[in-house]
């Protein structure tokens, strides 16, 4: 039920962003998570606030699932001072350190070493908490991926690498980027990770049981793990629209994935299990929409950062002091 | 402090930092090996343990990002590279992560990482073991860059860099590592952002960087002794932020400037300083500003080609005399380039 709530909330937020984008108030590149809600939603029920996560340019679902503040997220998209990054980062650079969401990068694979370094910090601090690194399959092509996994294995860090393979890197299909005989799980194992699995993403509950096992073992010091999931980005790479007709992928493929919508599947399951589910869902949708309305209102009414403050936070205050 | 060599001062700074602050960690290729990066990290792992001082995989890109990740969680990270040139693989993490983190997250997190980069030069190091790319680093908003010349400055600035809440690039010239006891009066310690006036003067302002400060002082003493010229030597020390105030004050006084920069010519720090002086209407120069740098050419390896390639005291003296229309014919016999020219000189007493 919690997983469903999370998925639904993310779906409704993202769809609202898609709908409102045309008003021109969110003036930054926005990469929506519609269709990819399941994995972070499942993980959100397993992680605590003390666990950390880093993400990619497509970070909204990861941020929200980790518990990131919705008002501040929308305000950030609006470029307002009240945004989670004070309007300086935009959609691609969300942060909410109070819930352990430690940032997201606009450079593919740039956050993989960061999350690995957070894992190092967990080890140095002798913490049982883990560091989650969300990445797309495109990032597994970057050198930073190999280097980071190698180090994580070497130092036995509690880093959980979650690869969401949505098969496209902007418009480039997997077939022009990775040999068909390639396996990222084999690569991860080859680099020394003891746990590297490809998990069937169709059933949310089986994702849950797999992830829970991995995380629990990780807290006890079993070392880094790599989990790969197949998923699908419903809308265009960047922006609110659908683009299944421009030629890089087929409408049929999209429809097939839409039919397998994890959100719909979970809903059907819950309908079957709970008699009052439909009524509950109506309430839930209303509650979430209210929350979303408040967030958009907040963002709209918030002021932009002041021009005079443009040089703020390049360096910390008083940080040019001497040592002696 | 002055009884220690530059390299020993670096090691002391790291050890003292680590002793005083448990959050400091130190890693790099060869940091724990028997040579200890020219002695600068020797046996630190024995005192502080393997978790805080460690060698690393040959993964400059990820290891920089890993340092950034640890630093945003509160660790003060010191990363060392035996050559600046090796670090170039880590530029994405330096420029797109470290330098931007505080800014693009509205100050929510910061990145207290210090990266020591050693500038090679000499003994045929060649094009990819000798580069001085301080201009690249200075160009990026969000980075601080220092290049201390003297052992005491190296000690104080490395400690300040490690404690600094923002990323600092710490450039060490290999030809300074074994220097000792040659600093001017260093009773006044400096901070990041300050230059150091090594020698007061009224006739000329000579601005120097890193190793060229030593060549500059040699030239200045020669010019005073033989030509009665009073040359003010300012060691820039802080490449970013540049101490514009001190430079301007000196230029206003002497009205003649020469900048000796260890980097390549185009878009160099020397270019930046000269542009700054010339753009300021309050400074009325008496002669054209002089830019002394490496040419726009990769550093060669052959002994035959490195002869006369680098700026030496003689080149500085000649350039200054020439700009004042004073005959400089004796300069290269009085202060010739040392032979052999590919080692640091009289004070050099160790292997490369």
Which pLDDT score, from 0 to 100, does residue B348 have?
59
Query: Are the Cβ atoms of A117 and B108 closer than 8 angstroms?
Result: no
Minimum CA–CA partner of A310 in chain B: B103
How far is the alpha carbon of B3 from chain A, nearest alpha carbon, in Å? 19
∠ CA B221-B241-B164, rounded to 5°: 110
CB A116 within 8 A of CB B65: yes
Which pLDDT score, from 0 to 100, does residue B284 have?
94
A181-199 mean pLDDT: 97
How far is the alpha carbon of B107 from chain A, nearest alpha carbon, in Å? 5
pLDDT at A250 over 70: yes
Distance of CA B1 to the CA centre of its chain: 19
Structure tokens at B274: 């000269």
- Chain A residues closer than 8 Å to B28 by CB: none
- Chain A residues closer than 8 Å to B189 by CB: 322-324
Per-residue pLDDT of A95-105, as tens digits, reads 999 999 999 99
B106 CB near a chain A CB, below 8 Å?
A: yes
Which pLDDT score, from 0 to 100, does residue A321 have?
40
Per-residue pLDDT of A6-26, as tens digits, reads 999 999 999 999 999 999 999
A217-225 mean pLDDT: 97
Which pLDDT score, from 0 to 100, does residue A318 have?
55
- Predicted TM-score (pTM) of the model is 0.96
C-alpha distance from residue A31 to each of A12, A218, A240, B58, B168 (Å): 15, 31, 8, 34, 33
pLDDT at A1 over 90: no
- Interface predicted TM-score of the whole assembly (ipTM), two decimals: 0.95
* Unique residue bearing structure tokens 């660790």: B75
As a whole number of angstroms, the distance between CA B320 and CA B304 comes to 27
Mutation site, A114, A149, A311, interface B, largest B CB count within 10 A: A114
CA-wise closest residue to B189 among B222, B152, B146, B144: B152
* Unique residue bearing structure tokens 């009665």: B228
Number of CB pairs < 8 Å for A and B? 167
Q: Is B177 a catalytic residue?
A: no
A225-250 mean pLDDT: 96
Which pLDDT score, from 0 to 100, does residue A200 have?
86
The region, left, alpha or beta by phi > 0 then psi within -120 to 50, assigned to residue A77 is alpha
User: Among residues 212-241 of chain B, which lie with CB inside 8 Å of chain A?
Assistant: 241
Q: What are phi and psi of B60, to 5 degrees?
A: -60, -35
How far is the alpha carbon of A245 from chain B, nearest alpha carbon, in Å? 34
Which pLDDT score, from 0 to 100, does residue B122 have?
86
Query: Are the Cβ atoms of A107 and B92 closer than 8 angstroms?
Result: yes
- Chain A residues closer than 8 Å to B106 by CB: 83-89, 313
Spans of chain B below 50 pLDDT: 1
Which pLDDT score, from 0 to 100, does residue B1 have?
46
Give the model's confidence band at A324: pLDDT under 50 very low, under 70 low, under 90 confident, else very high: very low
User: Among residues 239-268 of chain B, which lie with CB inside 8 Å of chain A?
Assistant: 241
Query: Are the Cβ atoms of B72 and A113 closer than 8 angstroms?
Result: no
C-alpha distance from residue B327 to each of B215, B227, B311, B332 (Å): 20, 10, 19, 12
Q: Among the options B4, B45, B81, B129, which is catalytic?
A: B129
CA-wise closest residue to B258 among B235, B274, B279: B274
Give the model's confidence band at A322: pLDDT under 50 very low, under 70 low, under 90 confident, else very high: very low
- Chain A residues closer than 8 Å to B141 by CB: 314
Which pLDDT score, from 0 to 100, does residue B120 have?
85
As a whole number of angstroms, the distance between CA B55 and CA B145 comes to 24
How far is the alpha carbon of A49 from chain B, nearest alpha carbon, in Å? 14
- Chain A residues closer than 8 Å to B164 by CB: 319
Per-residue pLDDT of B264-307, as tens digits, reads 999 999 999 999 999 998 899 999 999 999 999 999 999 999 99
């Amino acid at each position: 039920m919690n997983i469903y709530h999370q998925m639904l909330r993310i779906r409704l937020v993202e769809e609202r962003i898609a709908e409102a984008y045309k008003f021109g108030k969110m003036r930054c590149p926005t990469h929506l998570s519609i269709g990819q809600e399941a994995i972070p939603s499942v993980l959100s029920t397993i992680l605590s606030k003390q666990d950390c996560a880093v993400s990619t340019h497509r970070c909204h679902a990861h941020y929200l699932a980790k518990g990131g503040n919705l008002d501040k997220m929308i305000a950030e998209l609006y470029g307002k001072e009240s945004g989670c990054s004070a309007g300086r980062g935009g959609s691609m650079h969300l942060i909410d350190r109070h819930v352990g969401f430690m940032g997201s990068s606009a450079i593919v694979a740039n956050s993989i070493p960061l999350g690995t370094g957070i894992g190092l910090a967990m080890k140095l601090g002798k913490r049982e908490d883990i560091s989650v690194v969300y990445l797309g399959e495109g990032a597994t092509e970057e050198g930073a991926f190999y280097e980071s996994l190698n180090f994580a294995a070497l130092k036995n860090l509690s880093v959980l690498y979650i690869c969401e393979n949505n098969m496209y890197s902007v418009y480039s299909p997997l077939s022009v980027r990775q040999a068909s005989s390639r396996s990222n799980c084999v690569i991860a194992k080859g680099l020394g990770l003891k746990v590297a699995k490809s998990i069937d993403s169709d059933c949310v509950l089986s994702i849950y049981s797999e992830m829970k096992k991995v995380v629990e073992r990780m807290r006890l010091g079993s070392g880094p793990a790599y989990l790969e999931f197949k998923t699908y980005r419903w809308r265009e790479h960047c922006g609110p629209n659908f683009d299944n007709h421009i030629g890089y992928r087929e409408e049929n493929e999209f429809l097939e994935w839409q039919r397998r919508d994890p959100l719909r599947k979970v809903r059907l399951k819950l309908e079957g299990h709970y008699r009052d589910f439909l009524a509950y869902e109506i309430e839930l949708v209303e509650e979430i929409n209210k929350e979303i309305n408040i967030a958009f209102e907040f963002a709209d009414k918030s002021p932009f950062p002041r021009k005079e403050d443009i040089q703020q936070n390049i360096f910390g205050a008083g940080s040019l002091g001497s040592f002696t | 402090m002055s009884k220690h060599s530059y390299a020993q001062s670096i090691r002391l700074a790291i050890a003292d930092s680590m002793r005083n602050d448990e959050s400091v960690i130190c890693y790099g290729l060869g940091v724990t090996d028997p040579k200890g990066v020219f002695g600068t990290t020797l046996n630190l792992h024995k005192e502080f343990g393997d978790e805080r001082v460690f060698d690393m995989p040959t993964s400059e890109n990820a290891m920089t990002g890993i340092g950034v990740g640890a630093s945003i969680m509160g660790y003060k990270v010191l990363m060392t590279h035996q050559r600046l040139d090796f670090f170039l693989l880590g530029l994405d993490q330096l420029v797109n992560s470290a330098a931007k983190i505080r800014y693009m997250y509205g100050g929510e997190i910061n990145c207290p990482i210090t990266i020591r980069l050693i500038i090679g030069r000499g003994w045929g190091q060649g094009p990819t073991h000798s580069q001085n790319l301080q201009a690249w680093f200075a160009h990026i908003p969000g980075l601080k860059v220092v290049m201390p010349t003297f052992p005491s400055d190296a000690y104080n600035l490395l400690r300040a860099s490690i404690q600094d809440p923002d990323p600092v690039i710490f450039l060490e010239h290999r030809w300074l590592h074994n220097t000792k006891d040659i600093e001017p009066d260093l009773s006044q310690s400096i901070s990041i952002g300050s230059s150091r006036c090594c020698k007061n003067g009224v006739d000329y302002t000579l601005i120097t960087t890193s190793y060229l400060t030593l060549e500059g002082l040699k030239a200045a003493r020669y010019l005073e002794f033989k030509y009665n010229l009073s040359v003010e030597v300012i060691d820039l020390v802080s490449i970013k932020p540049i101490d514009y105030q001190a430079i301007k004050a000196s230029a206003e006084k002497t009205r003649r400037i020469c900048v000796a920069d260890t980097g390549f010519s185009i878009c160099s720090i020397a270019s930046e300083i000269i542009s700054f002086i010339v753009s300021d209407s309050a400074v009325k120069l008496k002669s054209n500003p002089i830019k002394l740098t490496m040419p726009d050419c990769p550093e060669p390896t052959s002994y035959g080609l490195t002869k006369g390639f680098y700026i030496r005291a003689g080149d500085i003296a000649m350039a200054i005399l020439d700009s004042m229309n004073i005959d400089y014919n004796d300069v290269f016999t009085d202060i010739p380039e040392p032979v052999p020219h590919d080692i640091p000189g009289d004070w050099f007493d160790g292997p490369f």
